[in-house]
Structure 1
Amino acid sequence: MANMEDLAICASAGDVEASPGKRRKQSEPESLWGMLRRGIVDHQLGLSVNLLLFVGFSYVLFPSLRSKMSAFFGLSYASPTQSGMYGQGSRDGYLVASFIVFFTALRAFALEYLLLPLAGWCGINKKKGKVRFAEQFYIMVYYILYWGWGVLLFIRDTPAGVRTVEGLLISLWGGFPRLLLDSGMKLYYLSQFAFWLQQIVVLHIEEKRKDHYQMLTHHIITVSLLAGSYSYRQNRAGNAVLVCMDIVDFIFPLAKILKYLSWQKACDAAFALFVITWFLWRHVAYCAICWSIYAHVNNVTMPYGLYSTQTGAKLSDDGGTNIMDNLFQPVMHPGAQTLSFNANIRWLFLGLLLALQCITIAWGVMIIRVVVRVLRGEGADDSRSEAEDNDETEESEHSPTQHGSVLQKEKPRYIEVETTSEELRSYPKRGGGSAGSGSKRKSKGISSGLNLAHNKEILNRIGCLSDEQLAREKELREGSTSPGIRPGSEGR
């Protein structure tokens, strides 16, 4: 028997009310945050475009504001002596804000007008399946582009004399503090920072997933590392960490896209590539960076001490103990002449990186479980997100759903009931009258599927019998005490 809260009766208008569970859910008042969240989700594109237009028109119409508004559209802190090189400061936050709005508009436009239609064209019928397909496709394209961009920047920034893995790791920390960075690295870093901030916003305004808090923790740590490494002039090391992360993040969406397309063998192959890449980049290469902080920083390169923010030269061996004033010096103290590096800052970076690795290990355990399912022949599935086979809004009611390699029919959500004049005439009169002597008044047919006589009690409890049917049921119960009628024989 179906759960009563999920039970619905196909009936003519006015005969049937919604089930009690549905009535309670619909009658609950929506919170202010719920209405705001729904409004933002429904109008992401419009709100984002209007914000961008507002900033653009403000720049055009108010010349006195142009010096400040220009930070929303271009890079700030250009070096007066070196062309194409830039410093860091608080005005960089304006460009980050513009990128957040831009990514929100881009994502909303791509999902609504490009990727959701593409999902339908690919034969995905479920609404939730289309949304997941579109989201994963967008993420895949983003990470392909940014991983390629990050690799090019890293190769270009690698010293020519590096020949070994250890030498490559040591080069991550060389030249501290790098007071200037080129336009490509700055644009890459600020846009990545904006993307991860926008992902935190997406987590809170869209439907909550099963791994919401793990993802939130991951995003907060990532944003903290990006903010700290950028302002502390550790752009090369941050670039290396992003490259290690991004290569995995475009292979995994590819595997999920293949799953939504029901290409199970291709999905399993992509998942195998994902597992190998995950292990090599997120546990080997990433942990090598963490090990380098422990083994090389202060021992081989980047010693503790006080450095000049004008020339980058080391002034003394005393780096003090302060963290925040040095870590965010370009923002908190832009006029400071010195910058310190000490053990507290070193262990803070290492601690955040290891915290990120702990989350990665937890996800790795989930991946191992999926590997076990694949080896058993059950197919690859994402255990980090909620199950998608409980979609309530479908465009094709009778289409089978793909789960792993097994096709399962959609569970019926409706019990259909039929009452006809013939069935009504079969009810005995009060006192045990014969069948056929009852009222010949006809009632409207509703639909077919369930024998009413055997399910009156259920239908009565959920309020799905008409007044006429309830009256006849009452007569039947009162007449069942007569000698000529045995209990349980009605309707036969």
Structure 2
Amino acid sequence: MDQTTPDYALQPPYTRQPYTPPPQPLREPNSAVTMDDVSFCASPADRMPASLVKRRKVKTAKAKAPQPQDSLAEMLRKGIVEHQLGLSVNLMLFVALSYVLFPSLRDRMSAFCRLSYPSETESGMYGQGSRDLSVVGSFIVFFTALRAFCLDYLLLPLAGWCGIAKEKGRIRFAEQSYMMVYYLTYWLWGVLLFAQGTPDSVDSINSLLISLWDGWPFLNLTASMKLYYLSQLAFWIQQIVIVNIEERRKDHYQMLTHHFITVGLLGGSYPYRHWRVGNAVLVCMDLVDFIFPLAKILKYLAWQRACDTAFGAFVLSWILSRHVCYMAICWSIYAHVAVVTMPYGLYSIKDSSRLSDDGGTNVVDNLLQPVLHPEAQTIGFNPNIRWTFLGLLLALQCITLAWLVMIMRVVARVLRGEGADDTRSDDEGEEEDQDVPAQASDGVTVPIVAGEADKAKPRFIEVESTGEDFPTYPRRKGSSSKRKTKGISSGLNLGEHKEILNRIGCLSEEQLAREREKREGSMSPRPSSAAGRK
């Protein structure tokens, strides 16, 4: 009986025809290509579960959802944040070129770069006036440029060199390093000025507090004190801008209220000639403001024990400076001002003599006399001014007390052995921290995981690589476990989908060439089935 091989019998490998998928209609160049448009050859065991398919469709739908357009204010905010250094440098160049190119503007432009109102009777001493606002504006622009330059070109690279992998950690490290340097510099400067202004007759804490008010109104101040006060005022105004244009933190409104009160105290005490007591308040505040960033820097460096030690020093300095020394100044306003020294009345700004005991009731005209009424010869002190200053100082104390409660929570964490962690402003959002390239020991930048921008891009094809197309590298120590090696499987017969995949960027030219060679080799003439059986 003639036995013939049925059509459905298995054929030797060399007699099989290469599989060619049916032609698919090409899409327009701008149309999207989804998972449903690409065919895969896979066994039933390798097929995607229905739940995973459903989850991926949901993600694809979310990715296709139209994003709301930013408002004009939001676009302006982002533009300022991204170009802080460029805008600041351009403003400084504008002032410099205006001074050089326009002689008629030199007198006005010079107020931006040098101190105004030098004293005619005392060398090295200065008065006050509206031109001091130009110096404040110059310091605002200067601090903005200095901060942007230090963060982008000095401190962020330093964070990478220190091995901080998280992008948020690097940013926080850079910000806290800048703040630590600033506050340390100004605290040392403030302590020096306070020591120079303290009378030799001071022999006790009580006499030291009285000396803050004795001799008012002070007529002139030194160049160093003027620079110190105006630059501090500019710094806190700049902090208000930074808080509003950059990423908001959990304690945004507390910080904003704190900054406004601080600016109010500085802006009122300077023209009112109370710079000595203002200097004392700033020294109390700046002491903890450079210890706290130091503790956070140690935390970002993962030096937990050193962080806990610095945090302990921070807590002690916080209580002593902001709740003991600071409250002593507030108590002095209540116990000494208008009782022991500085009685209410009308004073001469020529020789500091008290002309009458009637200081009136006006607050603003007296506080801002050098700016609003530079021609005036007198200045008044009344109960309204006294209680205004005391109220602002106590309002600032209420904010620091609220922060003290948060600090005590961190202290409780340390005592439980959980380590110091800032509860005020580190957790700005719930989004996942983004890993950024870490600096290897040989100076080569090594990527750790893909950033959020890459995660947000829709992926049309995601097939696990078999290892033939892409080499496998050993996992870098400390890298994220979420990283997956993805690619196009070498066992995938692309067929007519090569051009589509190439158009959407899923295949490189090398992979296309390899696939083309494989297909041409499979289509080469081979011995017939009859010859094979012989």
TM over 0.5: same fold?
Answer: yes
Distance 1:168 1:264, change over 3 A: same
2:148 maps to which of 108, 111, 117: 108
Distance 1:80 1:266, change over 3 A: same
Partner of 2:434: 393
Q: Does 1:330 align with 2:370?
A: yes
Letter of the 2:379 counterpart: L
Partner of 1:195: 235
**Aligned mates of 1:151, 1:13 — CA distance in 2:** 71
Residues 249, 427 of structure 2: 8 Å contact kept? no
Partner of 2:304: 264
Q: Does 1:43 align with 2:83?
A: yes
Partner of 1:378: 418
Residues 12-50 of structure 1: per-residue CA shift (max 9 Å, x gap):
8987885444444x6110111111111111111111001
1:189, CA displacement in angstroms? 0.1
State the secondary structure of the residue aligned to 1:178. Answer: coil
Letter of the 2:283 counterpart: V
Partner of 1:62: 102
Letter of the 2:364 counterpart: M
Partner of 2:28: none
Q: Does 1:308 align with 2:348?
A: yes
Distance 1:420 1:279, change over 3 A: same
State the secondary structure of the residue aligned to 1:306. Answer: strand
**Aligned mates of 2:78, 2:347 — CA distance in 1:** 50
2:205 maps to which of 160, 165, 169: 165
| 1:267-306 equivalence runs, <5 A | 267-306=307-346
Residues 360-402 of structure 1: per-residue CA shift (max 9 Å, x gap):
0000000000000000011101111132784443225469xxx
Residues 71, 94 of structure 1: 8 Å contact kept? yes
**Aligned mates of 1:304, 1:379 — CA distance in 2:** 52
Partner of 1:353: 393
**Aligned mates of 1:378, 1:91 — CA distance in 2:** 53
**Aligned mates of 1:13, 1:94 — CA distance in 2:** 64
**Aligned mates of 1:20, 1:47 — CA distance in 2:** 40
Letter of the 2:435 counterpart: E
Moved more, 165-174 or 11-20: 11-20
2:404 maps to which of 330, 339, 364: 364
Residues 166, 433 of structure 2: 8 Å contact kept? no
**Aligned mates of 1:14, 1:75 — CA distance in 2:** 71
Q: Does 1:150 align with 2:190?
A: yes
**Aligned mates of 1:23, 1:115 — CA distance in 2:** 38
**Aligned mates of 2:432, 2:90 — CA distance in 1:** 33
Distance 1:266 1:60, change over 3 A: same
**Unaligned residue ranges in structure 2 (runs of 5+):** 1-33, 39-55, 437-446, 451-477, 499-534
Partner of 1:225: 265
TM-score between both structures, scaled by the size of structure 2: 0.72
Partner of 1:447: none
**Aligned mates of 1:112, 1:354 — CA distance in 2:** 38
**Aligned mates of 1:224, 1:319 — CA distance in 2:** 22
State the secondary structure of the residue aligned to 2:347. Answer: strand
Partner of 2:532: none
Residues 419, 443 of structure 1: 8 Å contact kept? no
1:414, CA displacement in angstroms? 8.1
Letter of the 1:160 counterpart: D
Letter of the 1:117 counterpart: P
Q: Does 1:73 align with 2:103?
A: no
Distance 1:147 1:12, change over 3 A: farther
Letter of the 1:180 counterpart: N
1:419, CA displacement in angstroms? 9.7
Residues 292, 311 of structure 2: 8 Å contact kept? yes
Distance 1:20 1:209, change over 3 A: farther
| 1:200-211 equivalence runs, <5 A | 200-211=240-251
Letter of the 1:152 counterpart: L
Residues 249-287 of structure 1: per-residue CA shift (max 9 Å, x gap):
000000000000000000000000000000000000000
**Aligned mates of 1:248, 1:66 — CA distance in 2:** 41
| 1:371-450 equivalence runs, <5 A | 371-387=411-427, 390-395=431-436, 397=448, 412=482
Partner of 2:253: 213
Partner of 1:342: 382
Residues 421, 443 of structure 1: 8 Å contact kept? no
1:192, CA displacement in angstroms? 0.3
State the secondary structure of the residue aligned to 2:379. Answer: strand
State the secondary structure of the residue aligned to 2:157. Answer: helix
Distance 1:398 1:35, change over 3 A: closer
State the secondary structure of the residue aligned to 2:355. Answer: strand
**Aligned mates of 1:397, 1:319 — CA distance in 2:** 68
Partner of 1:178: 218
1:319 maps to which of 339, 359, 364: 359
**Unaligned residue ranges in structure 1 (runs of 5+):** 1-10, 400-407, 425-439, 445-492
Partner of 1:475: none
Identity %: 65
Residues 420, 443 of structure 1: 8 Å contact kept? no
State the secondary structure of the residue aligned to 2:214. Answer: coil
Higher-Rg member (1/2): 2
Residues 169-210 of structure 1: per-residue CA shift (max 9 Å, x gap):
111111110111010000000000000000001011111111
1:121 maps to which of 161, 164, 175: 161
1:415, CA displacement in angstroms? 12
Residues 156, 174 of structure 2: 8 Å contact kept? yes
Residues 393-451 of structure 1: per-residue CA shift (max 9 Å, x gap):
3225469xxxxxxxx996849898999989x9xxxxxxxxxxxxxxx99999xxxxxxx
